[in-house]
A and B are shown apart, each in its own frame.
Chain A
Amino acid sequence: AQSVTQPDIHITVSEGASLELRCNYSYGATPYLFWYVQSPGQGLQLLLKYFSGDTLVQGIKGFEAEFKRSQSSFNLRKPSVHWSDAAEYFCAVGGGFGNEKLTFGTGTRLTIIP
């Protein structure tokens, strides 16, 4: 069965500091991987996705993520966070045709301090 682990429930960083959110997955084949962001009271917005090819993927709002098959990881990074990045971040793993389900991690809440 596919699963996602986000080991950090809550992270606090200073504005302007770098950020890395961890995500580990379990999937029997090449996974499709996603990072979503959810601002308070809002729906989920797709930050970036990995399907195949270059293992370093760029997303919106200056975020990037690196797929490391050997470590079963897909960590999200940003070199310099802004106060508006405060939100909850979800990693998700899914399959393609024939495996339609998307499995989410439990989320990491990001707090930005001035």
Chain B
Amino acid sequence: NAGVTQTPKFQVLKTGQSMTLQCAQDMNHEYMSWYRQDPGMGLRLIHYSVGAGITDQGEVPNGYNVSRSTTEDFPLRLLSAAPSQTSVYFCASRRTGLPEQFFGPGTRLTVL
């Protein structure tokens, strides 16, 4: 199993640009989530999904969109990037009812 994969590894955007961070898992996990990590703030939940077609907001959802059309994929979209979205983004997945999460390697995003 590849586990949780994320692409790209690094990305630089200009303010106002849009992009999609990709996340995929091959463990047939129902639950997937996106976190952002900022210095001194730990990981904060952006959006999560408990299954295909079902998404919900986390702690810091503004400026981000998600969709879940398949069990495997959970892309995170930035429609109009802002410097405040400069961060490291982690995708995670787990089985529903089992809280142990498996994390991807992260995407480091810089918005100029």
Contacts and interface: CB of A to CB of B under 8 A. Distances in A.
Nearest to B30: A100
Interface string B35-53: 1000011111100101000
Interface string A14-31: 000000000000000000
Given A90-B42, A107-B42, A95 B99 contact: yes
Interface in B3-39: 31, 33, 35
Contacts, number: 55
Interface residues of B, number: 25
Contact-size category for A? 20 to 34
A56 B98 CA distance: 20
Contacts of A100: 31, 48, 50, 96, 99
B40 A97 contact: no
A1 B101 CA distance: 20
A102 B48 CA distance: 11
A106 B39 CA distance: 8
A49 B97 contact: no
B42 A104 contact: yes
Given A43-B90, A97-B97, A106 B50 contact: no
Given A43-B103, A100-B50, A9 B40 contact: yes
A101 interface: yes
Interface of A: 4, 9, 32, 34, 36, 42-46, 49, 51, 90, 94-97, 100-107
